[in-house]
Structure 1
Amino acid sequence: MQALSHAPAYALLTLVLASATSCQRLDARACNDGSLCPSGFTCVPAPEDTAYQCMSPSMNARCDQTLPSDLFDREDYQEHLLVGTIFDRSEPLIRLYEASAVLAFQQANDMGGVNGHRFGVISCTIEPDDGTIGDDRGFEDAAEAVADHLVELVGVHAVVAAGPALR
């Protein structure tokens, strides 16, 4: 019965793995030692304020969560397959979808990955800016900017998304 409870997660992760063409990830590293971040990224304090990490300044407030939480700081995550999530966190139901997607990747990683490949997840929101994000974007503009950021700059292998702007 345990295998059946994980079937939807395995289906999602199998689709992501099948779409991945390589196991490369963004060449980022901790930057508090003066090292340079990749083009388009700057050195910013990590959420725990104990270290610094390379982040795109325009997406800091929208793409503010990673799995593992120190995804861009440790070299042993170099081979993780990067996946982006795009969800409207202003909607309670959509927040549950985001949590479920991240949980599926966490469970896969906890069990050794899929075919030995572990996942790194960059979670982003497309909620309209009410002044707390600082970019004045609505749903559609936020979705486009976040998707461009994840695919073009970060180089994710796949995107998991849901929300009103994606209808």
Structure 2
Amino acid sequence: MHGPHVVVVMGVAGTGKTTVGPLVAEALGVPYAEGDAFHPPRNIAKMTAGHPLDDEDRWPWLDAIGRWAHERAGYGGVVSCSALKRAYRDRLRAAAPGVVFLHLTGDRELIGERMSQRKGHFMPETLLDSQFATLQPLAEDERGVAVDVSGSPHEIAERAVAALRAA
């Protein structure tokens, strides 16, 4: 990755988007935005109650993230967003055509273990299976890289930055 791009850190809940995203942003010298902050209150209430979001819930959230990414075009930035479906990533690309995706990947057992150790997050571990069921990994024609989430956050961020720079 050369030049100031907007990187969307994607993946299922518990992959470390909120932890790794700021580390990647710092290494790239660009601002970070927490994707969860773009959710309307009703989405947070729905997830807190243990109900997965549907597409109608996600469109306004994705549009808000897309606006942020569009405003950062040419300046660069990193934003976390699950972006589990191709349609969601297409919507983000429609708003900000230059976005690059960083897909944080890992096995169900590791991610579930990490989720069980989180404190104060509105996304319960019970929704992880629905996240994996929804996930459509990056296709070959999508601009981005996949990075495994084993290891420490700093190790993951280092691999991510290296992969982004090589892409």
TM-score using structure 1 length: 0.30
Which structure: greater helix fraction?
Answer: 2
Which structure: greater strand fraction?
Answer: 1
Give 1 or 2 for the bigger CA radius of gyration: 1
TM-score using structure 2 length: 0.30
